[in-house]
Structure 1
Amino acid sequence: MKLSLGPLQYFWPRERTLAFYREAAQWPLDIVYLGETVCSKRRELGTQDWLALAAELAESGKQIVLSSLALIEAESELSTLQRLVDQGQGWIEANDLSAVQLCRLRGVPFVAGPTLNVYNHRALAMLVEDGLRRWVPGVEQGKVLLRELRAAMQAEGRTMPELEVIAFGRLPLAYSARCFTARALDVAKDQCGFRCIAYPDGMPLASREGRPFLRINGIQIQGEEITDLGPELPALRELGVDVLRLYPQADGTAEAVAHFDLARRSPTPPPRIGTRNGYWHGEPGMPVEAP
């Protein structure tokens, strides 16, 4: 079972980002995803910077995958996506169907990111024909659906792509053309001043009762909890999961990688270092407390 470092979901200063990934080059990871997936205005690192970092990290022997935006809203963003697909350095994580189309036209292998919304085996089979090599299911797609989908693919004699499951990190729940961070700070989206750089793990949002509830991250909303599927490793293996995705956090990412590296080599499941992911078990994403 492989370990991947998912794309950085937050907006960090340039030097912090570069230092993080140069440290990650020494971690026991098999795959590293690089690139901006949330907001194209986050330009501490430009396209050429990400490509240079990809070339640098590839020397560590890890597979490097360049990730695309989840929500493409402008021609300039489509042009950036075209440069990523044309760069010729490897696979693309397609988080939007525009990326799927460009990869298909150019014959570039791609990973279907969790925002592509693949819910049945026929859609998955079509993507495989287009060049899909690895699939990251959406956050709400639990073990029952994945088991049924795999069985349906096998029943029709179709090739199942590699299966990558989000095993650690805050779950990306929703995206919007509006910027939640700008709205929360009462500024216009086009004059946001890049305020989200002040929140390296997203802006906490509590319920009216004061309970931690969500994280605001630009145009993205995340769950508050850092979910952890470590104790479910036996079930993940039985389901045929190939890759465990660990999302970068402002603190403790190196420790999380070491924890999962030990767990994947151990015959016994590890203790949980985050919170239980209800979605994986077909339950609410977080427990509902009685009023």
Structure 2
Amino acid sequence: MKLALGPLQYYWPRVATLEFYASVCDWPVDIVYLGETVCSRRHELRLPDWIEVADMLAQAGKTPILSTQVLLESGNDLNILRKITENERYGIEANDMGAVHRMSGRPFVGGPFLNIYSKPTLDVIAAQGATRWVMPLEMGRDSLATLQRDRPAGLQTEVFAYGRMPLAFSARCFTARNRNFPKDNCQYVCMDHPDGLLLETKESQAFLTINGIQTQSALVNTLIHELDELRSLGVDVLRLSPQSQHMDQVVAAFRAVLDGQESAAAAHERLVPLMPAGPCNGYWHGRPGLDMVLPGGVVASSAPDVHAPGVKARVVA
């Protein structure tokens, strides 16, 4: 089973971003997704810069893949999409159906935002040229097992196995609104939050994370305990989403468990202090996403009832 480093979801300074990917050259990952998938106002790296990063990673033996933006809002966004999909040097992750159509039957990776929940949809994506698909983040193991039994021949499966989960996108920028800035003059405040801006309930329970126009889970999804099960289901690639600190150790922990050099329990204990927030894996087990189900079915944490009277979200800066 291969390890993939997902596209960078946050807005980091140019130097920090370039240094991060220079270090990735030495990490035990096989595939690296590159590009801006969240907001077109994030300009620290543009497409030519991402191509240069891809060149560097390719020379280091990695497989770079250029990811397309999820929510397109302008003509400039469309122009960038055209340039990415017309690139013939590196593979493409299509994150909306416009990108799928732009590929015109050429091979691509179907991203997690294509809403692939059934065999007919999986068949359509495969017929369009997909060679791999990424399971939707809230899909559980039972639904994945069903699709794995019936997936088209030659189509690989990738699962989001670590990181804060991107749950939704909006035309509004929540991070800018929190600072009373309009979206068109946001002052690039996303850069102040290298792992997103946490939302808590009035009871100080983690609820969501805001990342510009993207809403993420508050907690960090981790499937470190489920690697044997993922392998038995025929999953080909595990996706680890970048965080601002300790990402090299996160990658090393997953690689050690996959290679049989460390137990999942020991790796989990080592990972928890390295996370920007607590762990969760509820979706995989068919439970609320904020739950953390340990081996043996023990639920270590549960989601707050955000619909209960008096429970309101607040921003924790």
Alignment of structure 1 residues 2-151 onto 2, 5 Å: 2-103=2-103, 105=104, 107-151=105-149
Distance 2:204 2:86 in 1: 48
Equivalences, count? 285
Query: What percentage of residue pairs aligned between the two structures are identical?
Result: 45
Distance 2:127 2:7 in 1: 25
Distance 2:142 2:114 in 1: 19
Residue number in structure 1 paired with 2:199? 205
Residue number in structure 2 paired with 1:280? 284
Aligned-residue offset at 1:85: 1.1
2:303 is matched by which residue type in structure 1?
Answer: V
Aligned-residue offset at 1:288: 2.7
Higher relative contact order (CA 8 A, sep 6+): 1
2:159 is matched by which residue type in structure 1?
Answer: V
Distance 1:206 1:181 in 2: 15
The structure-2 alpha-carbon separation of the partners of 1:239 and 1:195, relative to structure 1 and needing over 3 Å to count, comes to same
Aligned-residue offset at 1:268: 6.8
- Tell whether 2:245 aligns with 1:241: no
Distance 2:10 2:20 in 1: 13
1:73 is matched by which residue type in structure 2?
Answer: E
Residue number in structure 2 paired with 1:266? 260
In structure 2, list runs of 5 or more residues that go unmatched: 273-278, 291-301, 309-317
Residue number in structure 1 paired with 2:315? none
The correspondence for 1:175, drawn from 169, 174, 177, is 169
Aligned-residue offset at 1:276: 3.1
Contact 2:205–2:304, Cα closer than 8 Å, also in 1: no
TM-score (norm. length: structure 2): 0.87
Query: What SS does structure 1 have at the residue aligned with 2:195?
Result: coil
Q: Deviations over 1:171-192 (max 9, x none)?
A: 1111101111111111110010
Distance 1:269 1:40 in 2: 41
Distance 2:80 2:215 in 1: 24
Aligned-residue offset at 1:98: 0.8
Residue number in structure 2 paired with 1:217? 211
Contact 1:263–1:269, Cα closer than 8 Å, also in 2: yes
Contact 2:110–2:133, Cα closer than 8 Å, also in 1: yes
Residue number in structure 1 paired with 2:294? none
In structure 1, list runs of 5 or more residues that go unmatched: none
Contact 1:135–1:163, Cα closer than 8 Å, also in 2: yes
